[in-house]
Structure 1
Amino acid sequence: MVVIKDMSFKAGQELKISGKAKKATSFCVEVGHNADGIALHFNPRFDEHGDVNTIVCNSKQGDCWHEEHRETLFPFQPEEDFKIAITFNNETFYISLPGGNMIHFPNRFGDDKFNYLSFKGDVKIYSVKIK
């Protein structure tokens, strides 16, 4: 797991992430305030928790996970490089996927700034940029 704290990711900025899904079962990217305040849990699942080739998005406050959003559009491949870009406003996260498709997930916190980013699972991260 890699955690980046005390960063500044504001509404209107773009978070670009490049990496490689290793011998993947799943990986996740989390954006929020801390480990218990996750506004966006972006979780491509190759084969985990009964999900195959599914992207699961969710949010977490305290010990409580909210309702999952599932996307069957799945552009990730094991052992292949990928690039995603995340932007948001106080209502919605926009996640640009490999291949140019985009998914939307509600900003359930309604915040316009986050300072916590984490990466977990079967993933190697090459770069993280905020513009």
Structure 2
Amino acid sequence: MSTHFEVKNVALQNGDRLKVKGVILPDAQRFQIDLGRDKDDLALHFNPRFHDDIDGAVLVCNSKTAGCWGDEKREVYNPLERGTDVKIVLKLEGDMFEVELPDGYEVNFPYRVGMDVINFVRVTGDFKLTSFKIC
């Protein structure tokens, strides 16, 4: 069963962390964690893909402004595995997002859009969410 989890009015700011725990489904194709104002204005779209047409297993990051996607950042190293428990930590660090993965690998993505506060969080896709924590 895939996840669709949304939280509005959360107020994430510089220095905050979002910890997401769950299970990547055994037959997962992809899932995503989005941070922004709403579904059309995303400061971070973190999208692990397990069968991408171009790169196979890949980590994709992007941003979206007024419904228009920016340029993707693609990491061809994807340490996430189908059927495993994972903890992903998303950190808001000044002009950068840091996404910490279970093996200690970090993906950095620039804070492209001018949002003082992130108030929308969405986790969706082939992922069973078990825990969600803002600290």
TM-score w.r.t. the length of structure 2 is 0.91
Identify the residue that residue 117 of structure 1 maps to in structure 2.
Answer: 121
Identify the residue that residue 71 of structure 1 maps to in structure 2.
Answer: 75
Aligned-pair Cα RMSD in Å: 1.2
1:24 maps onto 2:40 in alignment: no
Deviations for 1:21-45, whole angstroms, at most 9, x for unmatched residues?
Answer: 1120000000001011111000000
Q: 1:49 offset after TM fit, Å? A: 4.6
Unmatched tracts of structure 2, length 5 or more? none
Q: 1:51 offset after TM fit, Å? A: 3.8
Deviations for 1:11-65, whole angstroms, at most 9, x for unmatched residues?
Answer: 1011111111112000000000101111100000001454411000000011210
Instruction: Name the % identity.
Output: 37
Q: Which amino acid aligns with 1:99?
A: D
How many residues are treated as equivalent by the alignment? 131
Q: 1:101 aligns with which of 88, 102, 105?
A: 105
Q: Which amino acid aligns with 2:62?
A: N
- Structure 2 distance, partners of 1:27, 1:99, is 18
Q: Determine helix, strand or coil for the equivalent of 1:43.
A: strand
Change (3 A) 1:86 1:109: same
TM-score w.r.t. the length of structure 1 is 0.94
